[in-house]
Amino acid sequence: MALASTWSVALLGVDGVPVEIEADISGGVPGVHLIGLPDASLRESKDRVRAAVRNSGEPWPQRQVSIALSPAALPKTGSGYDVALACCVLAAARSVPPTLLAGTVLLGELALDGRLRSVRGVLPALLAARRKGLCRAVVPLTALREAALVDDVEVLGAATLSEVLGWLRGETELAAEPPPVSTSRTASPLDLADVLGQPDARWALEVAAAGGHHLLLTGSPGTGKTMLAQRLTGLLPPLSSVDSVEVTAVHSVAGALTSDEPLIAEPPFVAPHHTTSVAALVGGGTGLARPGAVSKAHRGVLFLDEACEFGPQRLDALRTALEEGEVRHARRDGIVRYPARFQLVLATNPCPCAPAKDIDCICSAPARRQYFGRLSGPLLDRVDLRVRMRPILAMHLNAEDRPESSAVVRARVSQARQRAVHRWSAHGWQTNADVPGPMLRREYRLPSQVTDVLNCALTTGSVTARGADRCIRVAWTLADLAELDRPGVDQVATALSFRDRRAA
């Protein structure tokens, strides 16, 4: 019986589903029939695979070839099945032994001359294969470092289809795992000491870094809003091993990894232009949705410069991601989920004319309200810290006024985060911003005399119930920075002052 099988992986977002590929060669009119919901690029693989096999010096079966991809009801997309299809057909034709194919995952696109090209999503694909119990994989040589990040899977790399076929015949050895990728932290060239003045904004940035809070910076051009935002990731701790793999998987699906640095060990910084589309911001596309900027910023910082220029539609699309830490897209070929737990930093001018000083503003009051009103109330309600930037009055500072460097601030942030991790570790939360409101009001409830200021704010309508919860989270962060066991009246009042709309 001319039948053989092997494995590949179908990706649904960052979740993979192992796909069994079976090839059957029978009598009839020569041709290739793909069964199992292939998309256009996968249907075109018939021509790519046939040409690659012939140009590798192998005979293509001159009979009817039927190839089934199971589960049959699962849509299959992309060109990553090419290598598996070629090897499976040749094994069914008995040109190569089928022995090694049974427990091996094959990933890669084939060039017409037989070269193996890398594809998106190698890391999440192998993570799915490992969960299935498959313990060996062959990937393009350029993706070997990325594939080697998956433990408990024997990863082999090949540059051409001929090398893979030689390995199946026992004639050659494929490249083994490369040396582990270094995850040592490199010093960022962006230092907080470069920012002149702005003590309130610097303090807010430190609080945001310590607690994982969202931040709004409002001020005239040239006051340092972008400089501060760009330096936030330099204050954050390196990613944990679990978070690093999760972030790398998203970037792998997006095709944003390089072969030299396949592992993302530092919090990412993503800053889309204000003309970006909703799909580019939160993810989208036809067939199966691709990850957007919010997912690429997972466990890092999403910076929206000139936030009011984004427009309400794009800004309000962030609300679900901010609340749930993930985005879900329903498209023709299925529903995909992408993680999106990021810190949002918004920077905006106070009005359209954006003068150096407020006294020089030529905008009318309705124009100012309309401009800033592009940041909707529900979106601002999810922003914990709001700061008004001060005009820069001098380009040089005295030696005694030299601002603190990122290293000094990062040390305080690290200590505050360690206190938070120790407090919330039993629940699995990493930062104060992750803690649900009910937990803060029950097991970690603050005394009534501490929260009286919040009750007054709720009574006057200056803060919502969601805003009150966020104030308590910020208060816990302020307590961690002050090395206090619990927040007091001062911390709660300070947290509430950060939400004063007049400060924005």
Give the domain ranges of the chain: 3-168, 192-403
DSSP string, 267-302: --EE---TT--HHHHH-B-SSSPBP-HHHHTTTSEE
Does the structure show a pLDDT above 60 at 184? no
User: pLDDT for 220-240, tens place per residue?
Assistant: 888 889 999 999 999 999 999
Does the structure show a pLDDT above 50 at 502? no
Does the structure show a pLDDT above 70 at 262? yes
Res 71: pLDDT: 94
User: pLDDT for 42-57, tens place per residue?
Assistant: 889 999 999 999 999 9
User: Which CATH number is 192-403's, of 3.40.50.150, 3.40.50.2300, 3.40.50.300, 3.30.70.1020?
Assistant: 3.40.50.300
Res 317: pLDDT: 94
Share of the chain above pLDDT 90, in %: 73
User: pLDDT for 68-97, tens place per residue?
Assistant: 999 998 988 889 999 999 999 999 999 999
Res 436: pLDDT: 93
Report the helix count and the strand count for the chain, using DSSP H and E: 20, 16
Does the structure show a pLDDT above 50 at 377? yes
What class is the 3-168 domain? alpha beta
How big is the chain by its Cα radius of gyration, in Å? 27
**Does 477 or 255 have the greater pLDDT score?**
477
Asked, as a colleague might, if the bond just before 71 is cis with ω within 30 of 0, I would say yes
User: pLDDT for 456-500, tens place per residue?
Assistant: 999 998 899 999 999 999 999 999 999 999 999 999 999 999 986
The two three-digit tokens of residue 233, written as one number: 């990731």
* Highest mean pLDDT, choosing among 172-186, 326-340, 443-457: 443-457
Q: Around 157, how many Cα atoms within 13 Å sit in the side-chain half-sphere?
A: 18
Range 334-338 average pLDDT: 89
Strands 385-388 and 215-218: parallel
| Helix (H), strand (E) at residue 441 | helix 437-441
Range 397-416 average pLDDT: 85
Range 178-188 average pLDDT: 57
| Helix (H), strand (E) at residue 473 | helix 465-481
Res 334: pLDDT: 80
| Mean pLDDT for the chain overall | 91
The closest alpha carbon to 327, from 312, 316, 338, belongs to 338
User: pLDDT for 418-469, tens place per residue?
Assistant: 999 999 999 989 999 999 999 998 899 999 999 999 999 999 988 999 999 9
Local confidence band at 190 (pLDDT 50, 70, 90 cut-offs): confident
User: pLDDT for 294-325, tens place per residue?
Assistant: 999 999 999 999 999 998 999 999 999 999 99
Q: If you ran DSSP here, which 8-state letter would residue 452 be given?
A: H
The model's pTM: 0.91
CA angle, 296 then 298 then 300, to 5°:
100
Does the structure show a pLDDT above 50 at 501? no
Local confidence band at 179 (pLDDT 50, 70, 90 cut-offs): low
Share of the chain above pLDDT 70, in %: 95
Specify the length of the chain in residues: 504
Res 247: pLDDT: 96
Sign of CA dihedral 209, 215, 221, 223: negative
Does the structure show a pLDDT above 80 at 400? no
The two three-digit tokens of residue 2, written as one number: 């001319």
Placement of tokens 């800053």 in the chain? 271
Q: Are 140 and 147 in contact (CB under 8 A)?
A: no
Q: Which residues contact 410 (CB under 8 A, 6 or more apart)?
A: 209, 234, 235, 236
Q: Which residues contact 467 (CB under 8 A, 6 or more apart)?
A: 381, 499
